[in-house]
Amino acid sequence: MRTKRTPTALALIPDGNRRWARSHSLSFFNGYKMGVEKFIDFADWCRESGVSNITVWAFSTENFKRPTPERRALFDIYRKVANDKDILGRLHANETRFNVIGNIALLPKDLVKALHKVETETMDYKNHTINMLIAYGGKDDILYAAKRLVKAAINKGVKNVTESLFRAYMISSRVPDIDLVIRTSGEERLSGFMPLQSGYSELYFSKKLWPDFTRNDLEMALTEYERRQRRFGV
């Protein structure tokens, strides 16, 4: 039985959309579409369970290596979701802030515009947050901060580089330390996911392909999180 020690910040790596589509004799487009629809439900489940900050890895920098039709299909789905008034209404109803985090210069301009519109319209909410990592890579995030700090050292005379200062220069500066990372489809690695924020995260790997992930699966992950003792090196 859960004791309700719920993670404040939860991250999701939703793997398995393409494999799910193949197993159901569907196109990869339908697999991605089902995956996005599943996340909309997942965000509600998390909020109802007491999780206030969700970070989802929607598209990594490595994903740009995928075939152009796949990238376009996924961007089309994200574009449609960003322009969906019902989804925006749910964010408003739940007072949920939406953040776009990544190297957005790599994305289609109309997609960036649509995502930023949602970001702007929800920016005043403080109780719940969804961070969308898109065109994001953990190594790129570190390099981005390092380059900015070098410029700051040259142009502004910055000398004392602390962890908090370094984080302030990262693309992911708005994302807090992650309490629990969930990755689906049986893959048991982080693949460069947020190196600083996930340093002391609890990791939970589900064998379920992402579109098959259920609310009960989330409850199992949260129960396992409660069972663990977080020592933070002590």
Structure tokens at 129: 């947050």
Nearest Cα to 183, choosing from 35, 53, 15, 61?
Answer: 15
15 is catalytic: yes
194: left (phi over 0), alpha (psi -120 to 50) or beta: left
- Give CA–CA dist 108/81, Å, rounded: 15
Structure tokens at 166: 């370094």
Q: Where are the alpha helices (DSSP H) in the chain?
A: 17-23, 28-49, 68-82, 85-93, 109-121, 138-156, 163-168, 215-227
Q: Side-chain half-sphere of 207: how many Cα atoms within 13 Å?
A: 0
Number of Cβ atoms within 10 Å of the Cβ of 151: 12
Torsion angle (degrees, nearest 10) of CA 173, 215, 189, 10: 20
99 is catalytic: no
From the candidates 15, 140, 141, 179, give the one annotated as an active-site residue: 15
Q: Which amino acid is at 225?
A: Y
Q: Which amino acid is at 47?
A: R
DSSP conformation letters of 114-139: HHHHHHHHTTT--SEEEEEEEEE-HH
From the candidates 30, 44, 63, 83, give the one annotated as an active-site residue: 63
Structure tokens at 197: 């924020």
DSSP conformation letters of 64-75: GGS-HHHHHHHH
The residues annotated as belonging to the active site are 15, 63
